[in-house]
Structure 1
């Protein structure tokens, strides 16, 4: 018997074989979303502004196709994956976003615009410290599934000097939209397929094992008790001042900076980087302290 027709037949793209299953890619996307949330929280606290990592998209593509999309110069963090399988990965960041992060880390306003250029040695040193913390958060995100250890080995600005795969090899890229001080950009993880495949299989088995296990009964009171014990980082903003670089260079002990807030105005209490309460300053038991006098509107 001869069967004719093309029903149920689909084209096979040899340039994009999509060797990860849809289930594996979806599971990885959820994990990168989780990393994006904790990383956004870290950056918001560290840089004292609201940072958002969202719109995660996962894609498999040939390495040369990824290279064609990269605009030079860009910021490329090269990571060594210390597992039995070995391998390397890339974290790509728009230069303007990287400079905004550095500016904020140094106490600047982060207003921009920031040029598209390579970073100086000092800027690289500051960015490396922040990237290492982001790498630690990635390892923590993977901890329930696989014991990883990421080591930041180099920063490059041209992908030609940071190859993680050969032309024709498949890579897996997970791209985040990042928003910082109203500036939009992209942050992208790039993993060789040979490195990501065993991790994807581990993650999928872990997810399926949890789904096939016994049903977990909800425990709202226990969850509430644990949430109430979570430490929250609070910061009181005394005020802000803008000075020129020349004035900054001439600052000496005894100089006075005029802040943008009057002495009799309330101060701003920030929780996890977001303004939440109005407070007044004082002392309590020999320490500086603040007294809450009101809650900030939710839309601030």
Structure 2
């Protein structure tokens, strides 16, 4: 027990974060959920017993943490990835695997499996076929996320001595629940993070600011703005406004021959004549010459004019 008043501190390497971004987690969860359905279908066909596989969680952790979470004795099928020293792992209890083999050989699943033991040569051959089929399902489910060739490498039985990767290597670990008939077993699939993360892309991609002006102008062209069609404004005293009544007449200094103003945010951008579009009022742009005042809004002005044509 640590002394009272002291706290244990874990060293965190910011260059190698051990948590997945939310968007990456969701993509991987969907992929492993697809794999779970495929794996369940494949087990049903092979062992001739209704089987279901469910994905329970997807995390990223170091290989040391992953190995420490496994039982001391368990079946670990290792998969070699081209150009990577670290190996992928499919782990499940040996007792569950022996039950699957028993069904494949015609058993009814009532045989008693005592303890965890190594597989015989025949059992290894049958399990290898199961894993090769599962590997095809994994390739299909991950799709473009797994671009590295992968193949079955071997079987280990001790989680502490399997040496599938260096202790500090990051692994993407998916946890599964496998139900074959009435028996339930927990399984995991671990893949080197370096083999998957590059295909997931950046979580918060950034763009160069070298062409900031062009980027701003391009964005402005797609920002919605409120457009108004207005007459020339008149200046009146507050007393006139406060005493307005129904039937009062306000004189506006807008000649009959002058087009109305098309304005955005109070800034006139074009002249237009009143018209109709079906049952709705519309305006026809007649001029866009408003001098230098409209220059700062040239890009959105062009967008607005197109909407009014």
TM over 0.5: yes
* Cα displacement string for residues 37-64 of structure 1 (whole angstroms, at most 9, x for unaligned residues): 0111111122111111014311122222
What's 2:108 paired with? 109
SS of structure 1 residue aligned to 2:201: helix
Any residues of structure 2 matched to 1:124-139 within 5 Å, and which? 124-139=124-139
What's 2:12 paired with? 14
Any residues of structure 2 matched to 1:122-201 within 5 Å, and which? 122-143=122-143, 146-201=146-201
CA distance in 1, matches of 2:22, 2:141: 21
Contact 2:74 2:91 in 1 (8 A): yes
CA distance in 1, matches of 2:70, 2:78: 15
What's 1:56 paired with? 56
SS of structure 2 residue aligned to 1:151: strand
Q: Give the Å deviation of 1:112.
A: 3.9
CA distance in 2, matches of 1:199, 1:112: 45
173-182 or 188-197, which deviates more:
188-197
Structure 1 residues 112 and 183: alpha-carbon distance in aligned structure 2, compared to 1, 3 A threshold: farther
TM-score, normalization by structure 2: 0.56
* Cα displacement string for residues 94-116 of structure 1 (whole angstroms, at most 9, x for unaligned residues): 11111111111111112244232
Any residues of structure 2 matched to 1:30-45 within 5 Å, and which? 30-45=30-45
Contact 1:139 1:148 in 2 (8 A): no
Structure 1 residues 146 and 67: alpha-carbon distance in aligned structure 2, compared to 1, 3 A threshold: closer
What's 1:3 paired with? none
CA distance in 2, matches of 1:134, 1:145: 17
Structure 1 residues 180 and 69: alpha-carbon distance in aligned structure 2, compared to 1, 3 A threshold: same
Q: CA RMSD in A?
A: 2.8
Q: How many residues align?
A: 194
TM-score, normalization by structure 1: 0.58
Q: Give the Å deviation of 1:148.
A: 4.5
Contact 1:111 1:181 in 2 (8 A): no
Structure 1 residues 201 and 164: alpha-carbon distance in aligned structure 2, compared to 1, 3 A threshold: farther
SS of structure 2 residue aligned to 1:117: coil
SS of structure 2 residue aligned to 1:100: helix
* Cα displacement string for residues 153-198 of structure 1 (whole angstroms, at most 9, x for unaligned residues): 1111113443232223322210111111211111211122222322
What's 1:119 paired with? 119
CA distance in 2, matches of 1:87, 1:73: 21
